Chains A and B, each alone.
Chain A
Amino acid sequence: QVHLVESGGGVVQPGRPLRLSCAASGFDFNNFGMHWVRQAPGKGLEWVAAISNDAHNKYYGDSVKGRFTISRDNSRNTLYLQMNSLRPEDTAIYYCAKDLLRFLGPAFDVWGHGTMVIVSS
């Protein structure tokens, strides 16, 4: 069964870093692109970042570019999101999601349950 399990969320002060992880199982992780999507409390979905199956291509949403870094370890079937210079507006549930293809596919077909990040002093 295909599973994505996020971890690493919590409460962090503004300006501090945090790293999220997403453990994948049940599919050939190194054959699919991956994404991070977030959802602020009571708000809609916001695409955050994407990485190709081989990690050679990475793209970021405008609101996080230059502060967040997406990466993956295919030997560990794990996706990461390094978040630096966090701001209160980064407070959200962070979901990892599997791409239908190796990169820039037409949909995110598997989602994790999400991990909550709260940026507050």
Chain B
Amino acid sequence: SSELTQDPAVSVALGQTVRITCQGDSLRSFYASWYQQKPRQAPVVVIYAKDKRPAGISDRFSGSSSGNTASLTITGAQAEDEADYFCNSRDSSGYHYVFGTGTKVTVL
């Protein structure tokens, strides 16, 4: 199986921009999706298929990918964006999924 690696924590000033990255070999073959999880809540998908945003998700969230790295960018971060963020993709076999290690985003 594959691994997806994320930085454990990042911080961003209110209204500024932050980029969260996710690295893994499987990202050369499969797009990433990104999930936001707030304390004691279920995850919510914010980006899928590299850069698609589900209905109801703020356009502050955007996604991109290059080589073995996927990125989630929050532009103009708000207090409500403070959460854990997990990337996800199919693994190298194509039949399993793997989640990233997670990034805790703190909005200062």
Interface size, B (range): 20 to 34
Nearest CB in chain A: distance from B62 CB, A = 15
Please tell me if B99 contacts chain A, counting CB pairs below 8 Å. yes
Nearest CB in chain A: distance from B3 CB, A = 12
Q: Total A-B residue pairs with C-beta atoms closer than 8 Å?
A: 58
- Interface residue ranges of B30-64 to A (CB < 8 Å): 31, 33, 35, 37, 42-45, 48-49, 52, 54
Among residues of B, the one whose C-beta sits closest to the C-beta of A44 is B102
Docked-complex contact A109 and B42, CB < 8 angstroms? no
Docked-complex contact B96 and A106, CB < 8 angstroms? no
Q: Chain B residues near A106 (CB, 8 Å)?
A: 31, 33, 48-49, 52
Q: Chain B residues near A112 (CB, 8 Å)?
A: 42
Docked-complex contact A107 and B48, CB < 8 angstroms? yes
Residues of B within 8 A of A (CB): 1, 31, 33, 35, 37, 42-45, 48-49, 52, 54, 86, 88, 90, 94-102
Quick one: given A44-B86, A45-B99, are A113 and B35 in contact (CB under 8 Å)? no
Task: List 26 A–B pairs whose Cβ atoms lie within 8 Å, in order of A's numbering.
Answer: A35-B97, A37-B99, A44-B86, A44-B99, A44-B100, A44-B101, A45-B35, A45-B37, A45-B99, A46-B99, A47-B88, A47-B97, A62-B96, A95-B42, A95-B43, A100-B48, A104-B95, A106-B48, A106-B49, A107-B33, A107-B48, A107-B49, A107-B88, A108-B43, A108-B88, A114-B42
Nearest CB in chain B: distance from A46 CB, A = 7
Quick one: given A45-B43, A50-B97, are A104 and B48 in contact (CB under 8 Å)? no
Q: How far is the CA of A37 from the CA of B102 in the complex (A)?
A: 15
